[in-house]
Amino acid sequence: MTGRDFRTQLGQAYQQQVAPEIQRAWEMAAGATQSAAQMKYAKEWEKHGPEIQAELQKLPAHQRTLDTIEMVVTFVKGKHADEDRESYAREHAQRIIAEMGGTIRPTGGGSASNSPIQPNPFESDDVPADWKSRAKTAGITEQTLLEFCRSNDMSPDQFWKLFPKGTALQPIVAEAGRGK
Backbone φ and ψ for 135, nearest 5 degrees, come out as -65, -45
pLDDT of 148 over the 90 cut: no
Residues 136, 74 share a domain: no
- Domain of residue 8: give its range: 3-82
Please indicate, yes or no, if residue 141 is contained in any of the structural domains.
yes
Contact 117, 149 (CB under 8 A): no
Q: Look at residue 68 and give its three-state secondary structure.
A: helix
- The model carries a pTM of 0.40
Contact 168, 162 (CB under 8 A): yes
Residues 72, 11 share a domain: yes
β partners of residue 104: 110
C-alpha angle with apex 83: 81 to 85, nearest 5 degrees? 65
For the CA atoms of 146, 148, 151, 155, the dihedral, rounded to the nearest 10 degrees, stands at: -50
Backbone φ and ψ for 125, nearest 5 degrees, come out as -75, -20
Chain centroid, CA 82 distance in Å: 17
Please indicate, yes or no, if residue 117 is contained in any of the structural domains.
no
pLDDT in tens, 78-134: 888 787 777 777 777 777 777 775 555 555 545 444 444 555 555 667 666 776 777
pLDDT in tens, 50-79: 999 999 999 888 888 889 999 999 999 888
β partners of residue 110: 104
Mean confidence (pLDDT) of the chain = 76
Please indicate, yes or no, if residue 35 is contained in any of the structural domains.
yes
Please indicate, yes or no, if residue 108 is contained in any of the structural domains.
no
Q: pLDDT band at residue 22, thresholds of 50, 70 and 90? A: confident
Instruction: Determine the residue type at 69.
Output: I
